[in-house]
Amino acid sequence: MSWLARLKPGASTNTNLLVAALMWSFIGFYLMVRGYLLDQPLPGMLLLLALGLGTMKAFWLIERAARKNIARIVARPDGMCLGGVYSWGMWGMVVCMMVGGRLLRNSAVPPLVVGVIYVAVGWALLLSSRLIWREWNATKSLR
């Protein structure tokens, strides 16, 4: 066994699913809180708008990515690297979203609009994470 293979943080399929679910949930929750409190708390109507947009984004876009991520994790054998919980493309998307969020926050876009976007994206991630949690729970029950 090579020294690199010994350093690899390998984990079971169940652990990879848990890490993916935790990441989606925590990042979603963080974005929601950050967006809600960005400049001032979002007024009720804007919060409802953000949750509605986030729900649509979850059902039309994010859940597809969640299902692909679940299928990818489940198809991999046990002991695979935790960093491989996402594909290279998904990691690239994460970086792009982080950079995009930073640019948006530092742009001339009004803070209330940025807050709505943050809450919508956060809610979409949090809502879609239920699919990964469900698969983790099913996989956990099989052990």
Alpha carbons within 13 angstroms on the beta-carbon side of residue 95 total 7
Q: What is the pLDDT along the chain (143 residues), one digit of tens a residue?
A: 576 666 677 788 898 999 999 999 999 999 999 999 988 888 899 999 999 999 999 999 999 999 999 999 999 888 887 777 888 888 888 899 889 988 988 899 999 999 999 999 999 999 999 999 999 999 876 65
Q: What is the pLDDT of residue 130?
A: 97
Q: What is the pLDDT of residue 21?
A: 95
Q: What is the pLDDT of residue 125?
A: 96
Measured between alpha carbons, how far is residue 62 from residues 44, 52, 56, 126 in Å? 24, 14, 9, 10
Q: What is the pLDDT of residue 39?
A: 80
Q: What is the pLDDT of residue 143?
A: 59
Q: What is the pLDDT of residue 97?
A: 87
Q: What is the pLDDT of residue 13?
A: 87
Mapping DSSP onto H, E and C, the string for 25-88 reads HHHHHHHHHHHHCCCCCCCHHHHHHHHHHHHHHHHHHHHHHHHHHHHHHHHCCCCEEHHHHCCH
14 is written with which tokens?
A: 């169940």
Q: What is the pLDDT of residue 142?
A: 66
Q: What is the pLDDT of residue 109?
A: 92
Cα separation, 7 vs 96, in Å, equals: 28
